[in-house]
A and B are shown apart, each in its own frame.
Chain A
Amino acid sequence: MKKRKLSGYFAVQSMIFTTLIVMFFVVGIIVYYSMLYAETREHITKIGELNAETSAEQIDKYLSSGVDVLRMTGYTLDNMIRNGNSQEEILAYLENQSIAVSNITSGNSPGFYGCINNGYLDGTGWVPETDYAPLERPWYVEAKANIGRVSVVGPYVDSRTHRNIITLSKTLCDVKSVIAMDFSMDQLQKIAEDLTAHGKSYAEIVLNREYKVLAHSDKSEIGKCYFTEPGSFGNALIDELRSTDENYFFLRYEGADYIVYTTTVANDWFCVSVIDATSSLRRLKRPLIFIFAAALTILAVQLVIIIRSNKNTQIAKQLSDDLSEAENAISEKDSRIGEISKLAFKDALTGVGSKSAFNRLTAELAEKHKTSHTPTAVVMLDVNVLKNVNDTFGHDAGDKYLCGCCGLICEIFRYSPVFRIGGDEFVAVLRNADFSDREKLLQKLRDACDESYSHTDRMPWERYSIAAGMSDWLPDEPDIEQALLRADKAMYDSKRSFKERHKELKSISR
Chain B
Amino acid sequence: MLRYSLKRILQSALTLFIVITVVFLLMRLMPEEGYFGTGSDKLDAAQKENILRSYGLRDPMYLQLKNFYSSLLKGDLGTSIIYRPKVPVSVILKGKVFYSLYLGLASIGVSLVLGIGLGILMSQYKGKLWDKLGTVYIVVINAVPAAVYYLFIQLYTTEWFKLPILFDVDKPVSWILPIVSMSLGSMAGYAMWMRRYMVDELNKDYIRLAKAKGLKNSAVMVRHVMRNAFVPMAQYLPTSILLTIAGSLYIEYLYSIPGMGGLLIDAIQRQDNPLVQALVLIYSAVSILGLFLGDLLMALCDPRIKLEHQGGSR
Q: Do A and B bind each other?
A: no
User: Residues of B at under 8 Å CB distance from A?
Assistant: none
